[in-house]
Homo-oligomer: A and B are copies of this chain.
């Protein structure tokens, strides 16, 4: 009997079966279209395996209040076909196995915590910088959960004095996501981030914003490991820049001798989400 895992993202959904040790036996990627179509695709994959439980890392917003009577219901997402659909109820009924659910970013943090860059750590923050910015946090082996799930991508930070871009977040304009996501980069420069690798100014500014985000999280959560992932971090020149600016911004207030081991890249090569979904099962 295998563990089943689903990583449901905004554009694509990954399904996998694997073992307790995190080994993936088989996987498939299908488009995230309507629940009906996507779940049919998922079904034809899982029908070929016997699974004992299922872990799901899910795009948000989603109801994760266990006692709310609506656990697992997709909330007001721009993906209209998914709105009000209850993923948890559907999967539990369809597969007749225990289902463990969390946000996609919490799952990614858990994947890196169990089998990746934060294996030895007591706590781990995973921040993904892609179309948007999101963060997941694992503390004492469990995904962190407060009154609501974290939305740290929208924190307020200091705007660079030379940055005249008003910010791309429809809710907050110049929040972190509004200043530093792939979407923000594209709006500011009228060109996709991946086309701008040679433009040093882009990464100077980007690293200034990401460093502030990490500094605030260090000052508030104080995670033992900080993992920066997502499409924009494919620009690996960002890592040394971000580290340097973290040290400058903290300015001796917190020890940063170990910054190279503290703020790092993911180790799981784009598998942190799906492995994290597997870890949700292992953990429970």
Which A residues lie at the B interface, using CB under 8 A?
Answer: 122-123, 135, 145-159, 171-172, 174, 212, 215-224, 249-255
Q: Is the CB of A220 within 8 A of B254?
A: no
13 contacts between A and B (CB under 8 A): A122-B147, A135-B220, A146-B221, A148-B218, A148-B254, A151-B254, A152-B219, A152-B220, A156-B212, A157-B157, A158-B158, A158-B159, A216-B220
Collect the chain B residues with CB atoms within 8 Å of residue A150's CB.
219-222
User: How many angstroms between the C-alpha atoms of A174 and B224 in the bound complex?
Assistant: 26
Quick one: closest B residue to A211, CB to CB? B156
A147 to chain B, nearest CB (A): 5
A215 / chain B contacts, CB cutoff of 8 Å: 155-156
Q: How far is the CB of A131 from chain B (nearest CB, A)?
A: 17
Q: Are B171 and A223 in contact (CB under 8 A)?
A: no
CB-CB under 8 A from A171, the residues of chain B are: 250-253
A154 to B149, CA, bound (A): 23
Q: Contact at B158–A253, with CB atoms within 8 Å?
A: no
B158 in contact with A156 (CB, 8 Å): yes
Residue contact B223 to A220, C-beta cutoff 8 Å: no
For residue A209, which residue of chain B has the nearest CB? B156
Question: Does the CB pair B147–A216 fall under 8 Å?
Answer: no
From the candidates B145, B154, B212, B254, name the one contacting A219 in the complex (CB within 8 A).
B154
Bound-state Cα–Cα, A87 to B67, Å: 44
Which 4 A-B residue pairs are closest in the complex by CB-CB distance? A146-B222, A155-B216, A171-B251, A147-B222
Interfacial chain B residues near A220, Cβ < 8 Å: 135, 150, 152, 155, 216-217, 220-221
Q: How far is the CA of A152 from the CA of B151 in the complex (A)?
A: 17
Tell me, in angstroms, the Cα distance from A132 to B159 when the chains sit together. 23
A49 to chain B, nearest CB (A): 36
- A148-B254, A156-B249 are known; give 10 further A-B pairs, CB within 8 A: A146-B224, A148-B218, A152-B219, A152-B220, A156-B157, A156-B215, A158-B158, A158-B159, A220-B220, A221-B221
CB-CB under 8 A from A156, the residues of chain B are: 157-158, 212, 215-216, 249
Report the bound CA distance from A255 to B63 in whole Å. Answer: 13
Contact A223 B146 (CB under 8 A): yes
Measured in the bound complex, the distance between the Cα atoms of B159 and A149 in whole Å is 27
Most buried by B among A135, A145, A147, A215: A147
Docked Cα-Cα span, A224 to B148, in Å, equals 9
